[in-house]
Amino acid sequence: RKEVEQDPGPFNVPEGATVAFNCTYSNSASQSFFWYRQDCRKEPKLLMSVYSSGNEDGRFTAQLNRASQYISLLIRDSKLSDSATYLCVVPNAGNNRKLIWGLGTSLAVNP
Amino acid sequence: EAEVAQSPRYKITEKSQAVAFWCDPISGHATLYWYRQILGQGPELLVQFQDESVVDDSQLPKDRFSAERLKGVDSTLKIQPAELGDSAMYLCASSLAGGLQDTQYFGPGTRLTVL
Protein backbone atom coordinates (compact mmCIF):
# COMPACT_ATOMS: atom_id res chain seq x y z
CA ARG A 1 0.00 0.00 0.00
CA LYS A 2 1.29 3.47 -0.81
CA GLU A 3 1.99 5.73 2.17
CA VAL A 4 -0.88 8.02 1.19
CA GLU A 5 -3.33 7.30 -1.59
CA GLN A 6 -6.18 9.40 -2.92
CA ASP A 7 -8.65 9.00 -5.74
CA PRO A 8 -7.46 11.69 -8.18
CA GLY A 9 -10.93 12.27 -9.61
CA PRO A 10 -11.97 14.59 -11.06
CA PHE A 11 -15.24 14.64 -9.19
CA ASN A 12 -17.86 16.64 -11.08
CA VAL A 13 -20.91 17.48 -8.98
CA PRO A 14 -23.79 19.95 -9.24
CA GLU A 15 -24.22 22.78 -6.76
CA GLY A 16 -25.90 21.61 -3.58
CA ALA A 17 -24.65 18.05 -3.87
CA THR A 18 -22.90 16.11 -1.15
CA VAL A 19 -19.53 14.68 -2.10
CA ALA A 20 -17.03 12.57 -0.20
CA PHE A 21 -13.36 11.78 -0.81
CA ASN A 22 -11.34 9.03 0.77
CA CYS A 23 -7.66 8.93 1.62
CA THR A 24 -5.94 5.69 2.65
CA TYR A 25 -2.67 5.55 4.55
CA SER A 26 -0.17 2.84 5.37
CA ASN A 27 1.27 3.91 8.72
CA SER A 28 -1.04 2.48 11.38
CA ALA A 29 0.79 4.53 14.03
CA SER A 30 -0.19 7.88 12.51
CA GLN A 31 -1.97 10.06 15.04
CA SER A 32 -2.78 13.22 13.15
CA PHE A 33 -4.07 13.93 9.69
CA PHE A 34 -4.76 16.98 7.60
CA TRP A 35 -6.83 18.06 4.66
CA TYR A 36 -5.44 20.98 2.65
CA ARG A 37 -7.23 22.77 -0.14
CA GLN A 38 -5.38 24.00 -3.22
CA ASP A 39 -6.99 26.24 -5.80
CA CYS A 40 -5.71 26.15 -9.36
CA ARG A 41 -2.22 27.66 -9.56
CA LYS A 42 -2.36 28.73 -5.91
CA GLU A 43 -0.66 27.51 -2.76
CA PRO A 44 -2.18 24.86 -0.45
CA LYS A 45 -4.09 26.10 2.57
CA LEU A 46 -5.11 24.11 5.62
CA LEU A 47 -8.76 23.09 5.55
CA MET A 48 -9.05 20.73 8.52
CA SER A 49 -6.95 18.84 11.06
CA VAL A 50 -8.05 15.44 12.35
CA TYR A 51 -6.62 14.11 15.61
CA SER A 52 -9.30 11.79 16.96
CA SER A 53 -12.28 10.19 15.28
CA GLY A 54 -13.16 13.22 13.23
CA ASN A 55 -13.75 16.91 12.92
CA GLU A 56 -16.57 19.09 11.64
CA ASP A 57 -16.48 22.67 10.43
CA GLY A 58 -19.67 23.96 8.86
CA ARG A 59 -20.32 22.07 5.64
CA PHE A 60 -17.09 20.10 5.94
CA THR A 61 -16.68 16.90 7.94
CA ALA A 62 -13.54 14.81 8.24
CA GLN A 63 -13.84 11.29 9.61
CA LEU A 64 -11.09 8.92 10.63
CA ASN A 65 -11.37 5.14 10.43
CA ARG A 66 -8.26 3.75 12.15
CA ALA A 67 -9.25 0.11 11.67
CA SER A 68 -9.38 0.48 7.91
CA GLN A 69 -6.72 3.20 7.83
CA TYR A 70 -8.54 5.84 5.90
CA ILE A 71 -9.78 9.35 6.42
CA SER A 72 -12.66 10.86 4.51
CA LEU A 73 -13.68 14.40 3.72
CA LEU A 74 -17.38 15.07 3.30
CA ILE A 75 -18.64 18.30 1.76
CA ARG A 76 -22.33 19.05 2.11
CA ASP A 77 -24.32 21.55 0.04
CA SER A 78 -21.46 22.06 -2.44
CA LYS A 79 -20.76 25.59 -3.61
CA LEU A 80 -19.10 26.70 -6.82
CA SER A 81 -16.29 28.07 -4.67
CA ASP A 82 -15.54 24.57 -3.36
CA SER A 83 -13.99 23.72 -6.74
CA ALA A 84 -10.36 22.94 -5.94
CA THR A 85 -7.94 20.10 -5.32
CA TYR A 86 -8.10 18.54 -1.87
CA LEU A 87 -4.82 17.18 -0.51
CA CYS A 88 -4.58 14.54 2.20
CA VAL A 89 -1.52 14.78 4.48
CA VAL A 90 -0.29 12.05 6.84
CA PRO A 91 2.84 11.56 8.98
CA ASN A 92 5.07 9.03 7.26
CA ALA A 93 6.10 5.61 8.51
CA GLY A 94 9.14 5.55 10.75
CA ASN A 95 9.49 9.29 11.15
CA ASN A 96 6.58 10.92 12.85
CA ARG A 97 7.91 14.39 12.16
CA LYS A 98 7.65 14.17 8.38
CA LEU A 99 4.44 14.66 6.51
CA ILE A 100 3.56 12.81 3.35
CA TRP A 101 1.28 14.53 0.88
CA GLY A 102 -1.22 12.72 -1.29
CA LEU A 103 -1.56 13.54 -4.97
CA GLY A 104 -4.85 15.30 -4.34
CA THR A 105 -8.46 14.84 -5.41
CA SER A 106 -9.84 17.30 -7.91
CA LEU A 107 -13.38 18.62 -7.37
CA ALA A 108 -15.40 20.65 -9.85
CA VAL A 109 -18.76 21.98 -8.67
CA ASN A 110 -20.97 22.90 -11.60
CA PRO A 111 -23.89 25.36 -11.70
CA GLU B 1 -2.57 38.64 8.36
CA ALA B 2 1.10 37.65 8.18
CA GLU B 3 2.14 35.88 5.02
CA VAL B 4 5.03 33.88 3.63
CA ALA B 5 6.75 35.88 0.90
CA GLN B 6 8.45 34.33 -2.10
CA SER B 7 10.23 35.75 -5.10
CA PRO B 8 10.29 35.67 -7.99
CA ARG B 9 6.77 34.50 -8.74
CA TYR B 10 7.78 33.24 -12.17
CA LYS B 11 11.13 32.24 -13.60
CA ILE B 12 11.99 31.09 -17.10
CA THR B 13 15.49 29.83 -17.70
CA GLU B 14 17.44 27.71 -20.10
CA LYS B 15 18.82 24.35 -19.10
CA SER B 16 22.30 24.43 -17.56
CA GLN B 17 21.70 27.90 -16.14
CA ALA B 18 21.62 28.69 -12.43
CA VAL B 19 18.44 29.84 -10.69
CA ALA B 20 17.73 30.99 -7.15
CA PHE B 21 14.52 31.38 -5.21
CA TRP B 22 13.96 33.40 -2.06
CA CYS B 23 11.56 32.88 0.82
CA ASP B 24 10.72 35.00 3.85
CA PRO B 25 8.65 33.05 6.37
CA ILE B 26 6.10 34.42 8.79
CA SER B 27 7.87 36.31 11.54
CA GLY B 28 8.60 34.11 14.53
CA HIS B 29 8.23 30.82 12.67
CA ALA B 30 11.16 28.57 13.48
CA THR B 31 10.50 25.94 10.82
CA LEU B 32 10.83 26.56 7.11
CA TYR B 33 10.09 24.08 4.33
CA TRP B 34 10.88 24.02 0.63
CA TYR B 35 8.58 21.87 -1.51
CA ARG B 36 8.50 21.05 -5.20
CA GLN B 37 5.14 20.45 -6.82
CA ILE B 38 4.83 19.03 -10.31
CA LEU B 39 1.53 19.68 -12.07
CA GLY B 40 -1.06 17.11 -11.05
CA GLN B 41 0.90 15.88 -8.04
CA GLY B 42 1.10 16.73 -4.36
CA PRO B 43 3.94 18.77 -2.87
CA GLU B 44 7.21 16.90 -2.34
CA LEU B 45 9.39 18.03 0.55
CA LEU B 46 12.88 19.03 -0.58
CA VAL B 47 14.33 20.44 2.63
CA GLN B 48 13.21 21.36 6.12
CA PHE B 49 14.96 23.86 8.39
CA GLN B 50 14.61 24.29 12.11
CA ASP B 51 15.99 27.78 12.68
CA GLU B 52 19.26 27.75 10.67
CA SER B 53 19.78 23.98 10.79
CA VAL B 54 18.74 21.44 8.18
CA VAL B 55 16.63 18.72 9.78
CA ASP B 56 15.65 16.86 6.62
CA ASP B 57 17.11 17.11 3.13
CA SER B 58 16.78 13.47 2.19
CA GLN B 59 14.82 14.27 -0.97
CA LEU B 60 17.01 17.17 -2.09
CA PRO B 61 19.06 16.33 -5.23
CA LYS B 62 22.28 17.54 -3.71
CA ASP B 63 24.30 17.33 -6.91
CA ARG B 64 22.43 20.34 -8.24
CA PHE B 65 20.24 21.76 -5.46
CA SER B 66 21.35 23.69 -2.40
CA ALA B 67 19.45 25.51 0.30
CA GLU B 68 20.47 27.79 3.11
CA ARG B 69 18.92 29.72 5.95
CA LEU B 70 21.98 31.41 7.34
CA LYS B 71 20.39 33.59 10.01
CA GLY B 72 17.44 31.37 10.69
CA VAL B 73 15.01 33.76 9.03
CA ASP B 74 14.79 33.98 5.24
CA SER B 75 16.02 31.22 2.97
CA THR B 76 17.38 30.68 -0.53
CA LEU B 77 17.00 27.62 -2.72
CA LYS B 78 19.40 27.30 -5.63
CA ILE B 79 19.53 25.02 -8.64
CA GLN B 80 22.71 24.75 -10.68
CA PRO B 81 22.60 23.62 -13.41
CA ALA B 82 18.89 23.59 -14.12
CA GLU B 83 17.49 20.65 -16.07
CA LEU B 84 14.29 20.30 -18.09
CA GLY B 85 12.80 18.05 -15.39
CA ASP B 86 13.14 20.80 -12.80
CA SER B 87 10.17 22.65 -14.29
CA ALA B 88 7.69 22.81 -11.43
CA MET B 89 6.20 25.03 -8.74
CA TYR B 90 8.57 25.62 -5.83
CA LEU B 91 6.66 26.29 -2.65
CA CYS B 92 8.00 27.63 0.60
CA ALA B 93 6.10 27.08 3.84
CA SER B 94 6.67 27.92 7.47
CA SER B 95 5.29 26.76 10.78
CA LEU B 96 5.68 27.91 14.33
CA ALA B 97 7.80 25.06 15.68
CA GLY B 98 7.68 22.21 13.17
CA GLY B 99 5.43 20.01 15.26
CA LEU B 100 3.01 17.73 13.45
CA GLN B 101 0.07 19.66 14.81
CA ASP B 102 1.47 22.96 13.56
CA THR B 103 -0.26 24.42 10.56
CA GLN B 104 2.03 24.96 7.60
CA TYR B 105 1.52 28.30 5.89
CA PHE B 106 2.52 28.43 2.27
CA GLY B 107 3.82 31.25 0.15
CA PRO B 108 2.47 31.88 -3.37
CA GLY B 109 5.27 29.81 -4.90
CA THR B 110 7.75 30.31 -7.72
CA ARG B 111 6.78 28.73 -10.99
CA LEU B 112 9.94 27.60 -12.78
CA THR B 113 10.05 26.79 -16.47
CA VAL B 114 13.27 25.32 -17.86
CA LEU B 115 13.60 25.49 -21.64
Residues of A in Cβ contact (< 8 Å) with B41: 103-104
Between CA B11 and CA B77 the distance in angstroms is 13
pLDDT digits (tens, 9 = 90+) for A56-111: 999 999 999 989 999 999 999 999 999 999 999 987 756 556 788 999 999 999 99
Q: What CA dihedral angle connects B112, B40, B49 and A99, to 10 degrees?
A: 180
- The whole-angstrom distance between A87's CA and the closest CA on chain B is 7
Cβ neighbors of A70 (< 8 A, separation 6 or more) are A22, A23, A24, A25
Residue A80, H or E segment:
none
The more confidently predicted of residues A20 and B1 is A20
Q: From first to last of its 115 residues, what are the pLDDT tens digits of chain B?
A: 779 999 999 999 999 999 999 999 999 999 999 999 998 889 999 999 999 999 999 999 999 999 999 898 999 999 999 999 999 999 999 999 877 778 899 999 999 999 9
User: How far is residue A45 from each of residues A19, A37, A84, B15, B18, measured CA to CA in Å?
Assistant: 20, 5, 11, 32, 30
How many other CB atoms sit within 10 Å of the CB of residue B96?
A: 15
